[in-house]
């Protein structure tokens, strides 16, 4: 079966600084027409940053879409200043945490909400952190607080639903898998 939906008509509904919203009329595989509300996003990065004592860095911030405070790994969108995801990861880590890293490792990329958005998020691991004396400034509309948590502390925050976004849950689960692999190698 052919699953492709062919675009018949495309209309820009909203053009913003972070996203663009389109309304598309599509032709379904069965010949019927349907409407799709689609978000175009430039992409983003997230960073699992580890201190020398193997704590992961998190930022606490208010998320208006959820009307609540969350605890997340540092992240940000790819923009015109640095369209390469690794360059964006380096910038975002410094802006949000005042840290730079000696080593960045690419972990994976995934689409955050493919039912309506094309945002592709690139996840990196950062190690060998050093504090920056004069870091890049945070975004003007960003108010965050920094936390360095052990795995147990982070898992407790997840169980308390303070960690609730997909990228951070994914990073936490990958951390758990790495710890389990280290345990099994030690046996």
pLDDT, one tens digit per residue, over 119-169 is: 999 999 999 999 998 877 777 777 899 999 999 999 999 999 999 999 999
Quick one: 107 and 180 in the same domain?
A: yes
Instruction: Please write the tens of the pLDDT for every residue from 76-98.
Output: 999 878 889 999 999 999 999 99
Domain annotation covers residue 1: no
Q: Count the domains in the chain.
A: 2
Of 22-31, 117-126, 136-145, 171-180, which gets the smallest average pLDDT? 136-145
Residue 25 has pLDDT above 80, yes or no: yes
Of the pLDDT bands very low, low, confident and very high (cuts 50, 70, 90), residue 20 is very high
Q: Give the CATH number, domain containing residue 90.
A: 3.90.79.10
User: What is the model's pTM?
Assistant: 0.92
H or E stretch at 124 = strand 120-131
User: Is 140 a known active-site residue?
Assistant: yes
Spell 143-168 as b/e; 16+ CB within 10 A means b. Answer: ebeebbbeeeebbebbeeebbbbebb
Residues 63 and 132 in one domain: yes
Q: Are 178 and 141 members of one domain?
A: yes
**Is there a single domain that holds both residue 128 and residue 97?**
yes
Please check whether residues 53 and 139 belong to one and the same domain: yes
Catalytic residue among 4, 140, 159, 183: 140
Q: Residue 21 belongs to what domain range?
A: 6-40
């Amino acid at each position: 079966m052919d699953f492709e939906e062919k675009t018949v008509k495309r209309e820009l509904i909203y053009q913003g600084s972070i996203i663009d919203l389109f309304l598309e009329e599509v032709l379904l595989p069965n010949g019927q027409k349907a409407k799709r509300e689609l978000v175009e996003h430039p992409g983003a990065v997230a960073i699992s940053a580890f201190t020398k004592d193997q704590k992961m860095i998190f930022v606490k911030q208010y998320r208006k879409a959820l009307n609540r405070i969350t605890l997340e790994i540092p992240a940000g969108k790819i923009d015109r200043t640095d369209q390469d995801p690794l360059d964006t990861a380096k910038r975002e880590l410094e802006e949000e945490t005042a840290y730079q890293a000696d080593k960045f490792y690419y972990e994976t990329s995934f689409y955050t909400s493919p039912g309506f958005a094309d945002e592709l998020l690139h996840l990196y691991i950062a190690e060998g952190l050093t504090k920056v004396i004069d870091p890049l400034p945070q975004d003007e509309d960003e108010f965050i607080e920094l936390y360095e948590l052990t795995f147990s502390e982070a898992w407790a925050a997840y169980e308390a639903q303070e960690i609730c976004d997909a990228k951070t849950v994914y990073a936490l689960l990958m951390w758990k898998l790495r710890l389990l692999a280290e345990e099994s190698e030690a046996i």
